[in-house]
Every structure is written in C-alpha cells, then in structure tokens.
Homo-oligomer: A and B are copies of this chain.
Amino acid sequence: MKPSGYSLDATFAALADPTRRAILARLATGEATVSELAEPFAMTQPAISKHLKVLERAGLITRGREAQRRPRKLEPRPLAEATDWIERYRKIWEANYQRLDALLQEMKSTQRKAVDELVNAAKPKSKNRKRK
C-alpha cells in the first residue's frame, strides 16, 4: 500500500534546493518580481524562472494580478502541511523515546535495589563487628 501524498512529494522536492529555499526566504518578507528575485543570484533569469516554475507547480508561490510586474508571493499552506507531516512522526518518535527512557530508568533502579540487597545480605552486621 503506497500512500498518495502527491503534494507532499512536490513540496519536499521543491524544498530540496538551496536556490529555491532562498527564493522562499526572500518571499517570506514580501512579494517580489522575477528580476528582483534573480538579483542576489549569479544566475540567468531563465534559470531563476525554472526554479520559480517548480515552486509554482508545488503550490508554494503564486503570481500577483498586476499585469506588468507579475510579482510572486509565498503561499504558506503547503509549508504548513510539510511541517505537520514531519512533526506528527517526530512527536510519535519522541513519545516512544520518552517511554523507553522511563523504562530504562525503572530497570536501573530495580537493578540497583537488587544489588544493594545482595550486598547487604552478604555483609556481616556492623554491630557484630564492633563487639569483637
């Protein structure tokens, strides 16, 4: 059974590139045109446009209505879904880890008590020793 998760595939694939992450980081501060987005990179505008297409197809960015500038803006919903996915399993893992840790602590203290009892049983009573 394969889970569907088409859009998570696209979101994570889009996030797997440092240029695309930098574009998203820039757009988090406000919308920007293609040339504004291309500026900080040593890249041609067509190269940037390719990255923008990947981000658009993943639903991570949309184009503004202004006909001339067509500024791009960030769409936060797919990002929220991506963190939701990761956090769900991270929390399950954490809960299990905490349970395991508690169990180990319990085992250690039980073991310590058992060792203490054995040591005490083997020891000659100190009062007897003093009387000698």
- Cβ of B9 and Cβ of A12 under 8 Å apart? no
- Closest residue on chain B to residue A10 by CB atoms: B16
Q: Does A50 contact B (CB under 8 A)?
A: no
A24 to chain B, nearest CB (A): 6
A29 proximity list for chain B (CB < 8 A): 92-93, 96
Complex copy number for this chain:
2
Give Cα A96–Cα B4 distance, bound, in whole angstroms: 33
A12 proximity list for chain B (CB < 8 A): 12-13, 15-16
**Chain A contact surface mostly:** helix
Interface size band for A = 35 or more
Q: Does A69 contact B (CB under 8 A)?
A: no
Q: Does A64 contact B (CB under 8 A)?
A: no
Q: Does A22 contact B (CB under 8 A)?
A: yes
Taking CB atoms and an 8 Å cut-off, the chain A residues in 2-39 that contact chain B are 2-5, 8-13, 15-19, 21-22, 24-25, 27-30
Q: Point out the residue from B16, B24, B96 that lies within 8 Å of A13, measured CB to CB.
A: B16
**A-B complex: 9 closest residue pairs judged by Cβ atoms:** A12-B16, A13-B16, A28-B89, A12-B15, A28-B93, A28-B92, A5-B18, A3-B18, A83-B83
